[in-house]
Amino acid sequence: MTDFDLFRINEDHEALREAIREIADEQIAPHAAAVDEESRFPEEALKALVATDMHAPHIAEEYDGVGADALATCIVIEEVARACASSSLIPAVNKLGTMPLILAASDEIKAKYLPPVARGEAMFSYGLSEAGAGSDTAGMTCKAIEQPDGSFVLNGQKSWITNAGVSEYYTVLAVTDPDGQRGRNVTAFVVEKSDEGFTFGAKEKKLGIKGSPTRELHFDNCVIPGDRMVGERGEGLKIALRTLDHTRVTIGAQAVGIAQGALDAALAYVKERQQFGKAIAEFQGVQFMLADMGMKLEVARQMVYVAAARSERGDTDLPFFGAAAKCFASDAAMEITTDAVQLFGGYGYTKDFPVERMMRDAKITQIYEGTNQVQRIVMARQLLKG
């Protein structure tokens, strides 16, 4: 690229960052440890984000949203994640769940389901993975069989669904033509929490992001009206993968936020911690660690912002940049949070300080919305395609 104007942080973006950081510091961070310890949904964060229209900032104004661009949405997620990773999944998953509608749904479906999310009356989750179909999404077995009246009967399950049970709406991918071509026989639907035959599994007991419930979705002869189909029949997997091209950027933003929180905590600690008669920040070995942490963090942030600009423009090379941003930022977050724990020494290994939580939270960013091994496959395919 010879064009250096890949993205531009304008005054509105900076004002947004200042506003959301204040909200995160004052209304979200004070509850982060308890949310993690009690494995409870961060109601305080939801209330604060809804009150400021930051719970689903990506939804367009025509659907009662604020119409934040992709970069602004990343800034919101980043700043919330800096305080509490679990809370950052409120705006992140609202975008994940609604993105298939934004990309492919009819005007009627958009008009029905986007405004309640934009107004904070409902949340939206995303059902793609299954117990036997994680990275191999085309191997899903959840089926939606069309009935004579045009409705579909949904049977099967979905695994690892973020904010399951809290969200009111779900984009669910299911096989609609069992004998059709693999990967081209999948269709997307909107499922409502109140639909008969739709239930949830037990909450997963996770290493991190404990404030965001992760549960299975179970479908037992769940009837879905035909007018809830998202996009064309058989186009579901294509829509799902296009969705991930955009939302992997938001996971990169989440990773950047977690890493920033860990670096901020480490910087404050090393300036105060005294050993051998001076602050440990004065030791060259510590300074080298801090320099590497800051360098990796800034590279990750720039990659995420460049990818966000491509997401906003709908560039054809978004699949590479989205995968690269998510992969690099999440790997960097894991390294930075681990180093933060190291800089805290024995204290870093305790729950008296936030860095151990940040390290645990960072790990999932290397796994969900496609493992980093899958991201490397995506990137290699894009490179080989030229």
3-state secondary structure the chain: CCCCCCCCCCHHHHHHHHHHHHHHHHHHHHHHHHHHHHCCCCHHHHHHHHHCCCCCCCCCHHHCCCCCCHHHHHHHHHHHHHHCHHHHHHHHHHHHHHHHHHHHCCHHHHHHHHHHHHCCCCCEEEECCECCECCCHHHCCCEEEECCCCCEEEEEEEEEEECCCCCCEEEEEEECCCCCCCCCCEEEEEEECCCCCEEECCCCCCCCCCCCCEEEEEEEEEEECHHHEECCCCCHHHHHHHHHHHHHHHHHHHHHHHHHHHHHHHHHHHHHCEECCEEHHHCHHHHHHHHHHHHHHHHHHHHHHHHHHHHHHCCCCHHHHHHHHHHHHHHHHHHHHHHHHHHHHHHHHCCCCCHHHHHHHHHHCCCCCCCHHHHHHHHHHHHHHC
165-168: long-range pairs with CB below 8 Å, 24+: 165/200, 165/203, 165/213, 165/215, 166/41, 166/123, 166/213, 167/93, 167/97, 167/122, 167/123, 167/124, 167/125, 167/193, 168/116, 168/121, 168/122, 168/123, 168/124, 168/192, 168/193
pLDDT tens digits for 78-104? 999 999 999 999 999 999 999 999 999
Both tokens of 372, joined, read: 């980093």
Same-domain check for residues 363 and 276: yes
Residue 168 in any domain: the answer is yes
pLDDT tens digits for 247-256? 999 999 999 9
pLDDT tens digits for 114-158? 999 999 999 999 999 999 999 999 999 999 999 999 999 999 999
Same-domain check for residues 246 and 379: yes
Residue 3 in any domain: the answer is no
Residue 325 in any domain: the answer is yes
More confident residue, 2 or 163: 163
The total number of residues shown for the chain amounts to 386
Of 63, 85, 118, the residue that ends a domain is 118
Same-domain check for residues 322 and 233: no
Return the sign of the alpha-carbon dihedral for residues 176, 161, 56, 241.
negative
Residue 232 has pLDDT above 70, yes or no: yes
Q: List the CATH number of the domain containing 205.
A: 2.40.110.10
pLDDT, mean over the chain: 97
Residue 5 has pLDDT above 60, yes or no: no
Confidence of residue 6 (pLDDT cuts 50, 70, 90): low
Residue 285 in any domain: the answer is yes
Residue 33 in any domain: the answer is yes
Of 118, 144, 170, the residue that ends a domain is 118
- pLDDT, residue 3, reads 44
Same-domain check for residues 89 and 165: no
Confidence of residue 357 (pLDDT cuts 50, 70, 90): very high
Residue 178 in any domain: the answer is yes
Same-domain check for residues 233 and 245: no
* Among 371, 368, 126, 85, CA closest to 254: 85
Residue 4 has pLDDT above 80, yes or no: no
- Cα angle vertex 166, ends 163, 170, to 5°? 70
* Among 284, 283, 270, CA closest to 347: 270
- pLDDT, residue 288, reads 98
- pLDDT, residue 386, reads 87
Residue 303 in any domain: the answer is yes
Cα distance between residue 118 and residue 62, in whole Å: 10
- What does pTM read for this prediction? 0.97
Same-domain check for residues 379 and 261: yes
Q: List the CATH number of the domain containing 26.
A: 1.10.540.10
Same-domain check for residues 354 and 270: yes
Same-domain check for residues 264 and 368: yes
- pLDDT, residue 2, reads 37
- pLDDT, residue 319, reads 97
Residue 265 in any domain: the answer is yes
Same-domain check for residues 133 and 61: no
Known catalytic residues are 369
Looking at the structure of the chain, the number of domains it has is 3
Same-domain check for residues 162 and 280: no
Once rounded to an integer, what is the mean pLDDT over residues 171-198?
97
Same-domain check for residues 245 and 229: no
Q: List the CATH number of the domain containing 291.
A: 1.20.140.10
pLDDT tens digits for 313-330? 999 999 999 999 999 999
Same-domain check for residues 328 and 354: yes
pLDDT tens digits for 27-76? 999 999 999 999 999 999 999 999 999 999 999 999 999 999 999 999 99
- The domain containing residue 274 runs over which residues? 241-385
Of 118, 141, 157, the residue that ends a domain is 118
Confidence of residue 307 (pLDDT cuts 50, 70, 90): very high
